[in-house]
Amino acid sequence: MPTQILREFLDKNNIKYVTIKHSLAFTAQEIAASAHIKGKELAKSVLIKIDGKLAMCVLPAANKINFDLLKEFFNGKNVRLANEVEFQDKFPECEVGAMPPFGNLYGINVFVEESLAKDEEIAFNACNHMELFQLSFKDYERLVKPRLIKLSHHSKL
């Protein structure tokens, strides 16, 4: 079961969560619509490279990474999107593109768009393209200990 590691981690930490099944969807916006979740409460995980080191950015479904903000935050270091080949082996139990925002479980630093902290709950891919986990943002933050920063802007589709 692709979600087993994450499910065990949440259970071990006595986290209350809900699983939400939805029809097959690949983009964050499609998933939010299919699961009837507000786009600002659905978190997507985007893998980046900072001077060659893998990191995870977590942002609302409707947002896009602002690389100028990231470069400023990282003092001008080389920051770019990671390609699938660079991270697919880091999440062996997950379908590509369905990584949960728990980079800490995989030895990857996590940076979260600060606007997500304003929401009571957060929903995210459960390692596949047909299931989400939803839990309180406070629990997520306590487990992951991400850096909250301004890293994205709302995308006008």
Instruction: State the chain's maximal CA–CA distance in angstroms.
Output: 41
The domains located in the chain, with CATH, are 4-154 (3.90.960.10)
Per-residue pLDDT band at 2 (split at 50, 70, 90):
very low
Name which of 145, 140, 50, 155 is nearest 100 in CA terms.
140
Please tell me the distance from the alpha carbon of residue 73 to that of residue 76, in angstroms, as a whole number: 8
Distance CA 57, CA 34 (A): 23
Query: In the chain, what is the straight-line distance between the N-terminal and C-terminal CA atoms, in Å?
Result: 34
Over the Cα atoms of the chain, what is R_g? 15
Q: Which residue has the higher pLDDT, 3 or 153?
A: 153
As a whole number, the mean pLDDT across the chain is 90
Q: What is the pTM of this model?
A: 0.92
**Is it the case that residue 31 has pLDDT exceeding 70?**
yes
pLDDT digits (tens, 9 = 90+) for 68-114: 999 999 998 899 999 999 998 998 888 888 999 999 999 999 999 99
CA within 13 Å, CB half, 6: 31
Q: Using one digit for the tens of pLDDT, what is the confidence trace for 107-145?
A: 999 999 999 999 899 999 999 989 999 999 999 999 999
Mean pLDDT of 39-52: 91
